[in-house]
Structure 1
Amino acid sequence: MGISVGTVRKALDEMETERLISRRQGRGTFVIDQTSNEHAVRFSNIRERDGSKIVGDAESSSVLEGTASECEARNLQLRIGEPVYRIRRVLSHKGAPLLTEESTVSQSRFPGLSHADDISPSIVVLSHHYGVLLGRAEEKVAVTTASDVDAQLLKVAEGTPLLTLDSIVFAIDGKPVEWRQAKCNLAGYHYYAEMN
């Protein structure tokens, strides 16, 4: 084909980094199923005490249309005032609220989302439905305390320490797809980060 081995290896490394393929010593290289359960939780770092990933059940969700604020525009590389969808969810695990989540996505990337009742507002499900290949994500972590609203949604006392996650998920072309802010009640759970 006229392509050097080094170029092919570099391309495979990049595809593995973007989680499009997985390579297993002695077994080969495999294309990752973008709709698998394992892929669905790839951007979640909340774990059970035993290390198993938590998917979470959407206890409630809403999708609202709006225009990009300065902060949303900066994080999603949009113009201020560009049409966006704001997705709000409360996720529970084992029947108890685990986290609140507020996400913003561009209307141009996900047209008609506010009218699509049969689509989960999870970025992995949305990206699959709209044909967007997800790449990497960045996440900033801080500790805050529960406001009155947080306390009601998460069923904790006001002032309870919460883990706040500020994340941006990128497509494989490097463009931001979703900006998400989540507040988690980590009582009984862990935040897990893998470093290479």
Structure 2
Amino acid sequence: MDQAVATEGRREGAKPLYRQMKEDLVRRVMSGEWRPGELVPSEVALAQEYRVSVGTARKAIEEMVLERLVVRQRGRGTTIARNDERYEPFRFYRLHVGENTKAAYSTSYMSCTPARANAIEAKGLNVKRGTAIVRILRLRSHEGQPAVLEHIAILEERCPNVAAIINNIQPESIYGLIERAFHIIIRRVEERVQASAAEEEDAEILKLTVGSPILEVMRKAFDLGGAVIEFRRMRAVSDIHYFNEIG
């Protein structure tokens, strides 16, 4: 179907035209039409394609800029944002020690293997129990002391062979790896914070006693289409706190 005609036919929808256009552009990014670092057509060209005003096209692009999905580059044009352009390192990391020090001084991978989702992982990933995943155990240390134990589950179907890639590279940023290797952009995360108690594995790795108070953060990472790609349980020692600035 002709893109301009299809979009023109949605003019009478409830959403503003620029937002309809922006959502269609995001869909095209998801389909792989443009990948991170690649140029997208100019606002004039997009306006002609969608049969809208340049102002409408500009507003659609501006929304994508605000969401860090695209980057305007003087003298070059607008490109799909790469992982390092979309957000600063540890953008989604909210665990701190002291006033404003992130509890992530060093990272070590303890295991990364194909597995089947257990009940907790299945709920976190919004899939059926037994779905193929990659299960990762990763430790973050601060000043040489174990601080945060991360239990990470990634959907194998969306990221095939990711276990071998992670074991080979052991990346600091899993989201950056997912983007580079599978062209999946992590758009947002959702976190739930609660008090918990150290289990046997936590106690052994974090050097605690079983039953000691710990902080637990459960995170879901979503792609551009709103599907969960990764589920993560972060189990932190008691002197770690969760910090999030709003506004």
Shorter-chain TM band:
0.7 to 0.9
Higher Rg: 2
Q: 1:30 to 1:161 in 2, by over 3 A?
A: farther
1:43-62 → structure 2 map (5 Å cutoff): 43-62=92-111
Q: 1:160 to 1:10 in 2, by over 3 A?
A: farther
Q: Does the 8 Å contact 1:40/1:125 carry over to 2?
A: no
SS class of match (1:108): coil
Q: 1:21 to 1:110 in 2, by over 3 A?
A: same
Once the two structures are superposed, what CA deviation does each residue of 1:118-140 show, in whole Å capped at 9, x if it has no partner? Answer: 22264223223322211000000
| Structure 2 equivalent of residue 39 of structure 1 | 88
Identity of aligned residues (%): 26
Q: 2 CA distance for matches of 1:157 and 1:79?
A: 34
Is residue 2:242 matched to residue 1:191?
A: yes
Q: Structure 2, unaligned stretches of length 5 or more?
A: 1-43, 73-77
State the structure with bigger RCO (CA 8 A, min sep 6), 1 or 2: 1
The one of 152, 155, 163 aligned to 2:207: 155
Q: Does the 8 Å contact 1:64/1:87 carry over to 2?
A: yes
The one-letter code sitting in structure 1 at the alignment partner of 2:191 is E
Q: 1 CA distance for matches of 2:59 and 2:97?
A: 36
Q: 2 CA distance for matches of 1:12 and 1:103?
A: 34
Deviation at 1:146, TM superposition (A): 1.7
Q: Does the 8 Å contact 1:21/1:31 carry over to 2?
A: yes
Give RMSD over aligned pairs.
Answer: 2.9
Q: Does the 8 Å contact 2:117/2:132 carry over to 1?
A: yes
- Could you tell me the TM-score, scaled by structure 1's length? 0.80
- Could you tell me the TM-score, scaled by structure 2's length? 0.65
Bigger proportion of residues as helix: 2
1:22-37 → structure 2 map (5 Å cutoff): 33-35=82-84
Q: Does the 8 Å contact 2:215/2:241 carry over to 1?
A: no
Deviation at 1:6, TM superposition (A): 5.0
The one-letter code sitting in structure 1 at the alignment partner of 2:206 is L
